Amino acid sequence: MNLNQLREGLEQAFYKENHRLVFWYDPEQSFADELPSLSLVDVQILNMANESALGTKLKLELEDKAGKYLLYFPFAEPDVEKDWLLDIKLYSRCFYADRFSIIFNELGLHQQSLREHLAKRDKFLASKARLTALQRYVQPDFDESDLDMAMIASVVKAESCDLPHVILALAEETVADDLGLEANPASLNELEKYDLIPALVAALQSEIGYPATVEELKGEAPFKLGHFFIRLLVTGFCESVGDVPGWAQELVMSSASSRATARALLSRWRDSSRYYKAFDAVSGWVAIALRIKDKMGIFDTDQLSDVVTFEAVEQKIIVDLAVAIPHAPKGELERFRAMIASRLDGYWASKHKDDTTRRKYRTVYTALQAAIDLFSLRIQHDSGFHFESSETLYKAYERDLYRFDMAYRHYCEASQRAHVEILKKLDDEVENCYAYWYIDNLAKNWGDRIEAEQRLSQWRFSGIPNQQDFFQGLVKPLFSKATKRRVVVIISDAFRYEAAVELRDRINNKRYSEATLSSQLGVVPSYTTLGMASLLPHKTLEYRETASDDVFVDGQSSKGTAARTKILAAHGGLAVTAETVKAWSRDEGREALKDQELVYVYHNVVDARGDSSSTESETFMAVEHAIEELTELSRKILMHFNTSTVLITADHGFLFQQSKLEAADRSSLAEKPTNALKNKKRYVVGFGLPDTKEAWKGSTKATAGTTSDTDFWVPKGANRFHFVGGSRFVHGGVMPQEIVVPVLTVKQLRGEKAEKRTKRKVGVISTKSTLKMVNNIQKFDLMQTEVVSDLVTPVTVSVAIYDGDSKISSEETVTFDCATDSVAERVKQVRLSLSGTDFDRKKDYFLVLKDKDLNTEMERYKVTIDLAFTDDFF
C-alpha cells in the first residue's frame, strides 16, 4: 500500500464514517517510517510505542473528549484481557493496512470479521476488474453471505445482488446461449473457479428451499442449474394445482415456505418485462423434459384454472373450453366466461405483454368469449323465434337479436386471425348454431310473417322511419333552422346495424362526442344503387328501362360521386369520398367545406371486400376496419372541420356465413327473366316481371317510394338465386340483417357537457380493514366499489404485499369489470404467496393495490404477518 492509499483509507474512517478514534495495529512495523509523513486534517497521530496506555486513556476520556486521534501501534493487537484500551476500542474504529484490509476499506464494509472472509475469496479478488464490478453491489452492513451474493451477482451481471435477480440473470444467459436444461451457462463455470458455487447453492437452499445435497453444499458434487429450474417450476405447478401427483413427488420443494417463495419468485420472473421471455423458454424446456402434455389428462379445467406455469396448460384449458361450450348449460357458460376473464389477466394472454404468443392467446380467448355469447343467446331462444308480427320481430332484432350476428362476427374474425387447429371443431359448432339454427329459424318466422301480412305491399312499421325519408325526416331539420350549421352524413356501404352498435360504443368511449343509435327500414331490394339514391334529398326516385344500373333522383342520375354532388348542390352541399376526407389536413378540410351546409361522405370498406369472390372471406375483418375508420372519421370531422353533428348510416346491410352454401340454400328459378334491369344473387329488378312461386315479388313503388312501378324478385328467407362467383356475402333481400339500417347521430360535446363525460375507473377496496396473514399462501377478498357504466370503466389491479418499497410476495393481476349491482359478483379473490420466512409479527407490512396500466397506487392496507410453524405441503 502506498502513502496515498493509506491516507484515503484513514480519511474514509475519520471523515466519511465520522469516527473520532481510529486504532491501527502494525505488528510488522511496515509503516513506522511513513508515520511522520502522514498528515490528516484535524487528526492527532499518536505513536503508541512512546505513549502510556493509561495516560492515553485519561487523555481521550477526560482531557480531550472531542478531538480526533489516530492511535498507531507498532505491534500486534493485544488479547482482550490485557487490553487497557478495550472499552474505548469498542466504540471506535480499527484500521488495518494489509491487502484484504485495503479491499475491505475500498468496499466500505463495516464488519471487521469480513477481512478474514475476503482472504478466503482471494481468487475472485485477484482481478481489479472484478473488484470494480463488485463495488456497485456492496452495502456497508453486508455480512459474509451478502458479500458472496454480491460477488455472484457481479459475475452473472445481475441487476442487483438479491437471489431472485441472480436466478433471472442465469436464466437469461442460459436461454441466450440456447443451452437447454443439461448444460450450465458460462458464468456458473466462472463461479466454480472462484469457489462460489457452494454459496449460491446455500442461498438456494435457505431462501427457496432447494433440497441441496451435502456434496453440492461442499462443492464436491456438480450443481446443475437445469435441475433447479425443473424443481422450481414443478413446485410452482403443484402449488397452483393444489396437489402433488406421483410424478412430481421427488421433484417438488415441499415445505410451506418454500412453495410460497417459489410461487413468489415465479410471479416476479413472469412479471418482469426484461426476463419473461427467458421464462417462456425455460418453461418450454421443462415441459418437454416432464412430458407435461401427457400428464395434463388427469386434471380438469377447474384444477388448472390458477396454473400459468406451462403453456401446455393454457392450450389444454382452451381445448377443453372449445369442446364444452357448445353443449354447456347457461350456468356453465357463465363459469367459463369468468375463467376466461381470469386467464386474460394471467400470464400467457396478458395484455401487458405485446408479443406474438400473447396476441395469439388473447385472440383465441376473444373467439371463445364470442362463442359463449352465441350459445348463451341460443339457450335464451332455444325454442326458436315465434314473434306474432314482422314489426315485433323487427323491433326485437333492433333491441336484442342483432347480438347473434355480432357474436358470430366476433367469433369468426377472431378464429380467422388466430388460425389455430384447436378451434376447428368449434368453428363447425358455431357455424351450425348460426347458419343452420339461428338464420334458419329467424328466416322461417320472418318469412311467415312477411307472407301472412303481405308486408311487401305495405313496407312500413310504426315508429320506424323509411330509408327513402332519411333526408326529409332526419337531415333537413338539422340544417334548416335559423342558426346556420353544417351537417355531415357519412354513408358506409353495407355497414349493418350490429356493427353500428359497436361503433356507437367506441365513439361514446371518447370524451369529445356522444352517439345515439336508431334504425330505419331499408329499401327493397336492399342494394347499393337504390339505397344510395334513397338517402339523397329528393322528391322523386325512378328506374328507367334504358338505364339498368341507375336510379334517377328528381330526374338526375345518382350514380357516382360527381352525379351526387350535382344533386346535393341544390341544397348547399357536395359529395366527397371518405378517402378524400381522410387525406385532408385541418386547413384543407376547412377550406373545402367553408361554404357547405350539407356534406355527404361516401365510405366503402365492407362492400368493397365482401362483394368479391376473391375477398369475401375477409368480410368480418373489413367490418372491424370500417368501425375503426368511422370512429376516426367522425372524430376528425367534428374536431377539425367546424361541424357539430355527423350522421352515420348505410345503404343496406348484408348476410354472410363462413361455410360454403349447399344446393338447399338456392332458390332455382324455373323462369329466367328476360326483361330484367339487374339480376343478382339476392334480387332481380325489372319491368313487368311475372309472378313466381320460387320468390317473393314486389314493387319498388311500395318498398322504396319510386314513382316508377318497377318490379323485383327476392328469394325467400336467406336463400340465393345462384352461386356464380362468391355466395357467402350477399344483400338485396329482406332479412333483418339487410334492411334494419342503422342511423347514428354523433354530436360534439364541449364545456360542461364534455366534462360530465369525463371517464374514471372503478374503485377497488379490501372487504376487510384489518388484515392478518397466518399462512405463507393466503387469499384476500377485494371488492369493486361501483358498477361499470358508460362513464365508469373497468380497472386492472396488481396486488402484492410490501415491506417498505420492497415486494415480499407474489404479485397477482385481476380485472374488475362487473356491470351488475350484485355485491357477490363484484368480489374477487387474489391468492398471494410470501417470499421467505423471516417476518416480524410486530412489524407493519402493507397490502398494496395498484392500477396495473398506470402503475399508480390505488389503496394500501396494513397487514400483520404471524406465520404458524408448518412444514408440510398441503
pLDDT tens by residue, 2-18: 677 788 888 888 998 89
Residues 522 and 594 in one domain: yes
How far is the C-alpha of 459 from the C-alpha of 469, rounded, in Å?
Answer: 13
Q: Is residue 712 part of a domain?
A: no
| pLDDT score of 872 more than 50 | no
For the segment 816-825, what is each residue's pLDDT rounded down to a tens digit? 999 988 888 8
| pLDDT score of 874 more than 50 | no
Residues 356 and 495 in one domain: no
Q: Is residue 547 part of a domain?
A: yes
CATH number at residue 814: 2.60.40.2030
Residues 738 and 812 in one domain: no
How far is the C-alpha of 665 from the C-alpha of 209, rounded, in Å?
Answer: 66
Residues 553 and 583 in one domain: yes
Residues 790 and 743 in one domain: no
How far is the C-alpha of 680 from the C-alpha of 731, rounded, in Å?
Answer: 9
Q: Is residue 211 part of a domain?
A: yes
| pLDDT score of 666 more than 90 | no
Q: Is residue 674 part of a domain?
A: no
For the segment 83-106, what is each residue's pLDDT rounded down to a tens digit? 989 999 888 988 877 778 778 877
Report the candidate in 340, 343, 352, 335 with the shortest Cα–Cα distance to residue 311: 343
Average pLDDT over residues 194-220: 92
Give the global pTM: 0.87
Cα distances (Å, whole numbers) of residue 679 to 408, 534, 668, 686, 724:
29, 20, 13, 9, 12
Residues 742 and 774 in one domain: no
Q: Nearest 5°: phi and psi at 688?
A: 70, 35
Name 816's bridge partners.
795
Predicted confidence at residue 726, as pLDDT, reads: 63
| pLDDT score of 723 more than 80 | no
Residues 611 and 509 in one domain: yes
How far is the C-alpha of 684 from the C-alpha of 700, rounded, in Å?
Answer: 12
For the segment 835-844, what is each residue's pLDDT rounded down to a tens digit? 988 899 999 9
Instruction: Give the CA dihedral 66, 70, 71, 74, nearest 10 degrees.
Output: -170
Residues 274 and 176 in one domain: yes
Q: What is the average pLDDT score of the chain?
A: 92
Q: Higher confidence at residue 526 or residue 837?
A: 526
Cell numbers 367459463 correspond to what residue? 336
| pLDDT score of 660 more than 90 | no
Residues 644 and 624 in one domain: yes
How far is the C-alpha of 368 from the C-alpha of 276, rounded, in Å?
Answer: 26
CATH number at residue 536: 3.40.720
Residues 314 and 408 in one domain: yes
Last residue of a domain, one of 452, 486, 518: 452
Instruction: Give the CA dihedral 497, 502, 508, 510, nearest 10 degrees.
Output: -130
Contact between 285 and 177 under an 8 Å Cβ cutoff? The reply is no
Predicted confidence at residue 483, as pLDDT, reads: 61
Residues 63 and 156 in one domain: no
Q: How many residues appear in the chain?
A: 874
Q: Is residue 120 part of a domain?
A: no
Cα distances (Å, whole numbers) of residue 82 to 21, 70, 756:
20, 20, 83
Could you list the residue range(s) of the whole structural domain that residue 272 is in? Answer: 139-297
Last residue of a domain, one of 452, 487, 521: 452
Q: Is residue 793 part of a domain?
A: yes
Q: Is residue 701 part of a domain?
A: no
Number of folded domains in the chain?
5
Cα distances (Å, whole numbers) of residue 722 to 668, 730, 760:
7, 11, 53
Last residue of a domain, one of 67, 97, 127: 97
Residues 475 and 415 in one domain: no
Q: Is residue 697 part of a domain?
A: no
Q: Higher confidence at residue 381 or residue 109?
A: 381
